[in-house]
Amino acid sequence: MPNSVPPSTSQKLSLWRRLTDWGATGFAILAAVLVIVPLMAIFVYLLIKGIGSVNLAFLTQTPKPPGELGGGMANGIIGTGLILLVASGLGIPLGIGSGIYLAEYGRNRFGDMIRFTADVLNGVPSIVVGITVYSLIVVRQKHFSAFSGGVALGIMMIPTVARATEEMLLMVPNVVREAAFGLGIPRWRTTLSITLRTASAGVITGCMLAFARVAGETAPLLFTAFGNQFWNLKLNQPTAALSLQVFTYAISPYDDWHKQAWAGALILILLIVGAVAAVRIVTSRGTLKGA
Amino acid sequence: MPDEIFRWLIILSAISVFAIVVLVVWELVDKSRLSLHQFGLHFFYGHDWDPVNDNYGAMPFIYGTVVSSFLALLLAVPLSIGVAVYITEMCPQGLRSIISFLVELLAAIPSVIYGLWGIFVLAPLLRDYVEPFLAKTLGWTGFFSGPMYGLGMLAAGIILAIMIVPVIASITREVMTAVPQNQREAVLALGATRWEMIRMGVLRNARIGIVGGVILGLGRALGETMAVTMLIGNRPEVAKSLFAPGYTMASVIANEFTEATGDMYLSALVEIGLALFIVTLIVNALARLLVWSITGGTARPRA
Amino acid sequence: MGVGIEVRGLKAWYGKNESLHGIDMSVPANHVTAVIGPSGCGKSTFVRCLNRMHETIPEAYAEGSVKVGEMDVYGGGSDPVEVRRRIGMVFQKPNPFPTMSIFDNVAAGLKLNGFRNRKQIAELVERSLKLAALWEEVKDSLHKKSGASLSGGQQQRLCIARALAVEPEVLLMDEPASALDPISTSKIEELIFQLKQHYTVVIVTHNMQQAARVAELTGFFLMGNLIEYDKTEKIFTTPADKRTEDYVTGRFG
């Protein structure tokens, strides 16, 4: 049977095919570079512009009135901490509880529905969550509050924590549970002390991811925590938050505030990275070594 | 007895998730009732956003949201797929984890910091170099004309693109990795270049999942608030040029919610929130459907 | 028409592990040559070195001389893409392209190589499917059914047709029937017997009866070495090497 692939044709096309191969490789490398450049740029600017403005005053003082130089974001740092405390108090228990449900009790239609609902919740734009909490809490209480801000962020934490918990629990082999049952340990004890403990590293990572994600959120706080020029440690008062302050200062017309916005952003990023790092250290040290 | 209590506590947690979503829907519908009744369908194509006379038409915001999101997709999709192809099929083994870590890191940066960087770095860059260049070369199209502020639709689109690249890239990587090795070998054995192998053996098989990833990215872009608010100029107008300022649904809520005097004003803003919620709901559901059909439900779409 | 394969001093590595220690083998044209041996002996590696598929595995490479007809596979100016076009390969697990129709599966290699003429492509697709003894079964649903909707045996014949469409000179088959049921297996074996009229076939198999059924020559590999290479009949009835005898009589393997 004659070979009907003419050598001349394959020679000519080779050039075009070679060119597209090179071109595609070049484009892929270019894409990788183009994606990483903004990342580097952001971190570099944060460092350069932020470091200059982070000083003792910044870390310990509250904002000065607009137009006056000086002051700091100390109340924002504390405020963020307060709000995140409330958020974690809501988001982590409900998230882990839902995750336990999905993994241990919910391998059925109802569980599918809950799983779907959690995904829906995950996709709700953060500003819409803000509207809802405003409606539910702020309007009823007739004032903005750190509490409502925490609730908004806590709601946003739930799906991430739940999904991570479910995944980690499912990875624990059934024989572990069966061994516990075989020893006569009741189901609730097994789930908490044995299954969950085995999966703890992954669950903690999930909580940390959720925490890092909401730490930087601004939109839901716009009409819940609202912000505050002064110190506040009360849950039922409006509170400053680092992300809110960065926003307000960034869009202001004052140069000094712009500098402080960079400083605030740097602190915020450090907070997020710090949370990630701290959990990595704790979980890998063996204090809470998981499966 | 304790087992029963525990079980009910757990079920309660699960139900709370459901309850929260129900509450979201309820509050959105309830608080937008006024506006829904007053304006009906006209709300969505009216151009006039007039708090003074309590007359509200949301078209400029819908336009702004759609244009900024699709501009973002236009820029992000080739970049994301390019990065994903690079990491999955071309990258030397040692670099792989570093580069994928860096791309994931993009997702960790809060929106407000993107906005901050956008105002003080990206916008001046656009105003001083990019926009004049675009006006000179492509100004005749009408998309790159008018005053160059730096801030505007183009800036918003670019920052959104950077923000959604990690989403699209990570899904694309997952579905590409899920393609079995024997498909790649089948194409290579026919006498194909590496790009031809990637195109025919991997991307073709993963295309449904990639589309899902793109749609997920769209969902993210639609709901993005802070960075867009800080860069888009916040002017409720429909303009052809990308240099012009615009306004998105999320941004108008962010800017005007706490200033809203009067029930109708607030109700109109909540109605925009309701519309945003419904659109992102549909888009995200579609995306997950597509991604799960490829990965069989095991992959966790990173939203 | 097929061409012969001359292998001299072929060595192959996976990273630092040398898995083939210098193979010399002459495969005659238009014959079926079987490569047998226990798991891990290097038979698959050997065959994958012939069409430079071995090096697609990260950190894997090969050295030595492989001449397929006039083509120097590992020569200085040789291009792996061209080598793989001229040497066809069929894999253990059938791997048709699930997103393509039966027609498009067979035409895939043609489209890659720049064929544009639709009539020519259709003719070549038909010819290949006939050579692979699949034409009668699929001729009415060429464009309607996807490659993955066929049965296992049909899928493998589709993969054979796909490989034949670009008119290779040699066909390499890596345990082509091991994932199939007995009826499909015997269909494939019949097919191999007919294919040797037009092509040189090298088939890797762990099934000794299969080697005896289809191959005129057989090479026995053990731990990266070619122990014995002779007429199939001789290998199975009066092997020269004790290790060969132990393997074919089932004392290990």
Test the A interface: residue of B7, B23, B116 with most A CBs within 10 Å: B116
Phi then psi dihedrals of residue C231, to 5 deg: -60, 140
Test the A interface: residue of C113, C170, C194, C195 with most A CBs within 10 Å: C113
Instruction: Kindly provide the ipTM of the predicted complex, given to two decimals.
Output: 0.91
Residue A11, both tokens = 């020679």
Residue B301: pLDDT over 70: no
A171 touches chain B (CB under 8 A): no
pTM of the predicted protein model: 0.89
Q: Which of C79, C81, C113 is nearest residue A5 as measured by Cβ atoms?
A: C113
Q: Which helix (H) or strand (E) holds B219?
A: helix B204-223
State the average pLDDT over residues A255-272. 91
| Domains identified in chain C, total number | 1
CB C217 within 8 A of CB C33: yes
Range of the domain at C62: 5-98+170-248
Asked whether residue C131 is assigned to any structural domain, the reply reads no
CB B162 within 8 A of CB B270: no
Q: Which of A45, A106, A222 is nearest residue B14 as measured by Cβ atoms?
A: A106
Using CB atoms, which chains have 3+ pairs under 8 A with C? A, B
What pLDDT, on the 0 to 100 scale, is given for residue B299? 43
Using CB atoms, which chains have 3+ pairs under 8 A with A? B, C
- With vertex at residue A251, the alpha carbon angle to CA A247 and CA A252, rounded to the nearest 5 degrees, is 115
CB A159 within 8 A of CB A96: no
Judged by CB atoms closer than 8 Å, whether chains meet at A25 and B195 is answered as yes
Asked whether residue B11 is assigned to any structural domain, the reply reads no
CATH number at residue B76: 1.10.3720.10
What pLDDT, on the 0 to 100 scale, is given for residue A9? 44
Q: Which of the residues in chain C have pLDDT under 70?
A: 1, 253
Which chain B residue shows the shortest CA-CA distance from A162? B14
Residue B3, both tokens = 């087992």
Judged by CB atoms closer than 8 Å, whether chains meet at C85 and A1 is answered as no
Q: Which of B18, B222, B270 is nearest residue A131 as measured by Cβ atoms?
A: B270
Asked whether residue C177 is assigned to any structural domain, the reply reads yes
Please tell me the number of Cα atoms within 13 Å of B57 on its side-chain side: 10
Domain A79-242 is found in CATH 1.10.3720.10: yes
State the Cα–Cα distance between residues B289 and B209, nearest whole angstrom: 9
Chain C CB contacts of A6 under 8 Å are: none
CB A241 within 8 A of CB A83: yes
Instruction: Identify which of C137, C131, C133, C138 has the alpha carbon closest to the alpha carbon of residue C103.
Output: C138
Instruction: Identify which of B186, A24, B200 has the alpha carbon closest to the alpha carbon of residue C112.
Output: B200
Q: Which residues pair with C25 in a beta bridge?
A: C7
Distance between A20 CA and the closest CA of chain C, angstroms:
12
Judged by CB atoms closer than 8 Å, whether chains meet at C84 and B187 is answered as no
Judged by CB atoms closer than 8 Å, whether chains meet at B116 and A265 is answered as yes
Asked whether residue B99 is assigned to any structural domain, the reply reads yes
Range of the domain at B149: 60-295
Judged by CB atoms closer than 8 Å, whether chains meet at A20 and B193 is answered as yes
Spans of all domains in chain A: 79-242
Asked whether residue B17 is assigned to any structural domain, the reply reads no
State the Cα–Cα distance between residues C173 and C34, nearest whole angstrom: 9
Instruction: Identify which of B265, B268, B230, B237 has the alpha carbon closest to the alpha carbon of residue B251.
Output: B230
CB B154 within 8 A of CB B243: yes
Buried b (16+ CB within 10 A) or exposed e, C59-94: ebebebebbbbebebbeeeeebbbbbbbbbbbbbbb
Q: Look up residue C59 and give its DSSP letter.
A: T
State the average pLDDT over residues B162-182. 94
- For the segment A20-75, what is each residue's pLDDT rounded down to a tens digit? 999 999 999 999 999 999 999 999 999 999 888 888 888 888 888 887 787 888 88
State the Cα–Cα distance between residues B133 and B128, nearest whole angstrom: 9
- For the segment C81-126, what is each residue's pLDDT rounded down to a tens digit? 999 999 999 999 999 999 999 999 999 999 998 888 999 999 999 9
Which chain B residue shows the shortest CA-CA distance from A17? B193
Residue A287: pLDDT over 50: no
Asked whether residue B142 is assigned to any structural domain, the reply reads yes
